[in-house]
Amino acid sequence: MEAHLTHVYNQIIARNPGEAEFHQAVREVFDTLGPVIDRNPQYTEAAVLERICEPERQIIFRVPWVDDAGRVQINRGFRVEFNSALGPYKGGLRFHPSVYLGIIKFLGFEQIFKNSLTGLPIGGGKGGADFDPHGRSDGEIMRFCQSFMTELANHIGPQTDVPAGDIGVGGREIGYMFGQYRRITNRYDAGVLTGKGLTWGGSLVRTEATGYGLVMFTNRMLGTRGLSFDGKTVSISGSGNVAIYATAKAQELGAQVITCSDSSGYVIDEAGIDLELLREVKEVERGRVSDYAIRRGSAATFVPGGSVWDVPVDVALPCATQNELDGDAAAALLSNGLVAVAEGANMPCTPQAILAFQKAGVLYAPGKASNAGGVATSGLEMQQNASRDSWSFDYTENKLAEIMANIHDTCAQTAEEYGHAGDYVMGANITGFIKVADAVIAQGLI
């Protein structure tokens, strides 16, 4: 890391103690910015790095609610409004017991550059709560969401901050929060949340967007080596929204997706994942992947615990959570003939894994580029809300495909321009950073 970047990074560590994920996200970006800082001394003179790494606003609040047994429960809610140089803050809400300020800051920091890459006028933010929706009744989730939104409503709006979903927050939770927002404000601001239901302001393709976009990006990346998904075996971690629709699009392109997973373990299905059965188990019944394996019969094997990355495949798409694919997992994948890996989750690969992939010459795409389809389609939902319009599925999917192709090509071109052809990490970080940095300088010291 260049000397000035090291100095700023050490300041960030000191100012944000104990936030390991945030430190990791900043380090991953800083490790690639040396050439940009050397070419653009104005960024150092204007303290752009320091300003981008300090959130514009950090909101922490109490979320009281009553469970089905009548007991009062207390959770902690967060919204980190990181950077609005390009537009209103935009980023999801995560409900998971692991959530704390450092997780939200890492996600919000990544979101700045991801949103920049989409080419849409949206800034970066993220939020959530240390609430675990797993095993809770619909009534408990509704009461929690209503309490959460009662405070969050003070800080969001279509021109200010537009949350969406993330882990633990799907259409059900967005619906409960949007209803409470309407009740509090007495306004039908459809653009205040994205990921809404199709009959009340949502966009076609939004549900599929992150998974679809991931596969679109990966297929274009494979194309740089004369390859495609057709005939490839694919491992996908997770079994939520991103994993399900990445499976769908990969299968559509001729791939054989043979894994899915959740916190209980993973499934190997050599015949190919039965997408409709997986959707029934996870989206309707809210069950476990072990239930999928039982229903699938002899075609599938459930492996409790273990690593889904031990399965030999051509393409790996980590779609579960941060730091799920470490150096040992990368070594296992590489020993089994891996061709490409692209991140569907946010920062699912550890630095050791990324280094291993890059040293081996494997195609590797960071999440801020490859999983940007979700927020891109959220931006398209905002456009439809602003114009009170509704686009067809095909039109919206084509717009998504255009955005993902542009992200890929821009990242590839930037990496080549800076002497690191094929390095999508450097390409994504530099492309996203320059756009935000220039806007920060143009708007003065704020």
Task: Give 415-421's long-range contacts (Cβ < 8 A, gap of 24+).
Answer: 418/35, 418/36, 419/35
Tokens found for residue 119 = 């080419």
Q: Are residues 243 and 289 in the same domain?
A: yes
| 163-201 pLDDT, tens digit each | 999 999 999 999 999 999 999 999 999 999 999 999 999
Q: Are residues 268 and 341 in the same domain?
A: yes
Answer whether residue 424 is part of any domain. Answer: no
Residues within the annotated binding site for NAD(+)?
210, 241
pLDDT > 90? residue 318: yes
Residues within the annotated binding site?
90, 111, 114, 165, 210, 241, 378
Mean pLDDT of 246-270: 96
Q: Are residues 262 and 137 in the same domain?
A: no
Number of independent structural domains in the chain? 2
Strands 265-269 vs 259-262: parallel, antiparallel or unpaired = antiparallel
Q: Are residues 180 and 223 in the same domain?
A: no
Answer whether residue 250 is part of any domain. Answer: yes
Q: Select from 333, 361, 389 the last residue of a domain.
A: 361
Residues within the annotated binding site for substrate?
90, 111, 114, 165, 378
Answer whether residue 350 is part of any domain. Answer: yes
What pLDDT is stored for residue 2 in this prediction? 82
**Could you tell me the residue range of the domain that residue 53 belongs to?**
3-188
Q: Are residues 152 and 20 in the same domain?
A: yes
| 401-444 pLDDT, tens digit each | 999 999 999 999 999 999 999 999 999 999 999 999 999 999 99
Q: Are residues 249 and 331 in the same domain?
A: yes
Which positions are annotated as active-site residues?
126
For residues 79 and 127, is the Cβ–Cβ distance under 8 A?
yes
Mean pLDDT of 138-163: 98
Q: Are residues 289 and 170 in the same domain?
A: no
Mean pLDDT of 105-127: 97
Residue 338 CA to residue 7 CA, distance in Å, equals 37
| 16-67 pLDDT, tens digit each | 999 999 999 999 999 999 999 999 999 999 999 999 999 999 999 999 999 9
Mean pLDDT of 387-399: 96
| 330-357 pLDDT, tens digit each | 999 999 999 999 999 999 999 999 999 9
Residue 205: CB partners within 8 Å, gap ≥ 6?
A: 212, 377, 380, 393, 396, 397, 400
What pLDDT is stored for residue 323 in this prediction? 93
Q: Are residues 130 and 173 in the same domain?
A: yes
- For residue 411, give the 3-state DSSP assignment: helix
Q: Select from 155, 188, 221 the last residue of a domain.
A: 188
Q: Are residues 176 and 247 in the same domain?
A: no
pTM for the structure as a whole: 0.92
Answer whether residue 438 is part of any domain. Answer: no
Q: Are residues 9 and 72 in the same domain?
A: yes
Q: Select from 188, 222, 246 the last residue of a domain.
A: 188
CATH code for the domain of 19: 3.40.50.10860
Answer whether residue 338 is part of any domain. Answer: yes
Residue 443: CB partners within 8 Å, gap ≥ 6?
A: 85
For residues 121 and 157, is the Cβ–Cβ distance under 8 A?
no
Q: Are residues 171 and 233 in the same domain?
A: no
pLDDT > 90? residue 3: no
CATH code for the domain of 354: 3.40.50.720
- For residue 368, give the 3-state DSSP assignment: helix
| 3-state secondary structure labels for all residues of 270-321 | CCCCCHHHHHHHHHHCCCCHHHHHHHHHHHEEEEECCCHHHCCCCEEECCCC
Q: Are residues 276 and 306 in the same domain?
A: yes
Residue 177 one-letter amino acid: M
pLDDT > 80? residue 1: no
Q: Which residues pair with 95 in a beta bridge?
A: 129
> Residue 94: which of 166, 171, 144, 21 has the closest Cα?
166
Answer whether residue 249 is part of any domain. Answer: yes
